Amino acid sequence: MADDKEVEKTIAEDLVVTKYKLAGQIVNRVLEQLIAKCVPKASAREICEFGDKLILEETSKVFKKEKDSKKGIAFSTCVSVNNCICHFSPIPSESDYILKEGDLAKIDLGAHIDGFIAVVAHTVVVGGVEVSGRAADVLLAAHYASEAALRLLRPNNENYAITDAVQKITAEYGCKPVEGMLSHQLKQFRIDGEKSIIQNPSEAQRKEHEKATLETYEVYAMDVLVSTGEGIGREMDTRCTIYKKTDEIYQLKLKASRMFYSEVRNKHGSMPFNLRSFDKETSARLGVVECVNHKLIEPFQVLYERSGELVAQFKFTALLLPSGTHRITGLPFDKSHCKSERSIKDPELNALLNSSAKSNKKKKKKTGAEEPMEVETVA
């Protein structure tokens, strides 16, 4: 029986595909409601809290008969605005951000069903106003880089083919991908699988980051983050609120730390979590310190680009099935609001973007696996 438990479940199984797609439908529905909340004078904190509440409500409605099945938040809702790159999801004691018309708000979240994770991120212009100049450049760069990545997420392609395409497209708009950001392979109960796709690697990162070939039945969280600036993230004074348990072992000394770590293991397992989910914020704040110091828990730091710069993000989850690559998360992006003087001139990039994201091979469809999502082409 022990051997059976160690067999890794993949999307070669129809039920696993169904769970991924259900999680994908949930995050898309939640994302739609969060976009509607991104209006002038809205609180970023309240939007984050609302997003997490919705994910818990929606995931509780599915697979009720599987009593032992875990489900819920795979990544706490974040609303990172303008030059804030990622992971802004403040707890009540931390400073909030109030949205203004014209802000670029990056909404990022994830849900899981039985450990099968679907994540998504989308950038919205607060107030739905038309944008031009650098705001339009960065939005279009991130959008088209994301579309190119979708077309290159195919079995037998190398991860660096995606790295290079994202780099070239963003350069056409005078922008840069945020350095060192990783798009990970997803596995059951694991948001950071072995294989990954790196953005804009430094020389040192390029040497350290492993080349990999994409394979059928793999799942990826493709995350594209693009900046109008130099593309280097830095920590400011915003305190971290999202963490994840590691596989490290250490005997904690403080009682508060032990209680906190026990709750993390029982409530969240290996999934990322927000300190907001703990009943006593003060105790959680105290308990997390020793856990982080001894690497039992790792932080998802809130990162910033330089003041005055803008960062846009699009993230989707993709299943690499024999019938093609299925994008199961992500909402359409309305380019008509973006008035940029720049465009993609490179004929190879345009050919890639104008190609279909569907697989040409007609394979016998498995039950429960619909056709890959239709995607737009470059005008």
Residue 378's pLDDT is 41
pLDDT at 57: 96
Q: What is the pLDDT of residues 275-314, one digit of tens each?
A: 999 988 889 999 999 999 999 999 999 999 999 999 999 9
Of the two residues 378 and 280, the one the predictor is more confident about is 280
Give the separation between CA 192 and CA 183, rounded to whole angstroms. Answer: 8
**Structure token digits, residue 367:** 């039950």
Could you tell me where the beta strands, DSSP code E, fall in 45-186?
Answer: 71-81, 84-86, 104-113, 116-125, 131-132, 176-177, 182-184
Of residues 376 and 308, the one with the higher pLDDT is 308
Mean pLDDT of 234-263: 95
pLDDT value at residue 6: 66
CA neighbor of 74 nearest in space, from 31, 119, 43: 119
24: nearest Cα among 58, 47, 70, 66: 58
pLDDT band at 69, cuts 50/70/90? confident
Please give the average per-residue pLDDT across 22-45, as a whole number: 98
Query: What band does 208 get if pLDDT is binned at 50, 70 and 90?
Result: very high
- Mean pLDDT across 190-202: 96
- The Cα–Cα gap between 228 and 140 comes to 11
Indicate the pairing of strand 71-81 with strand 104-113: antiparallel
**Intra-chain end-to-end CA distance of the chain, in Å:** 56
Q: What percent of the chain has pLDDT over 90?
A: 87
The C-alpha angle with vertex 122 and arms to 121 and 123, in degrees rounded to 5, equals 135
Q: Is pLDDT at 80 greater than 80 in this prediction?
A: yes
Q: Which long-range contacts (CB under 8 A, 24 or more apart) does 100-103 make?
A: 100/40, 100/41, 100/126, 101/40, 101/126, 101/127, 101/129, 102/126, 102/127, 102/129, 102/131, 102/135
pLDDT at 379 over 50: no
**Interacting residues of 207 by C-beta distance below 8 A, sequence separation 6+:** none
Q: What is the pTM of this model?
A: 0.92
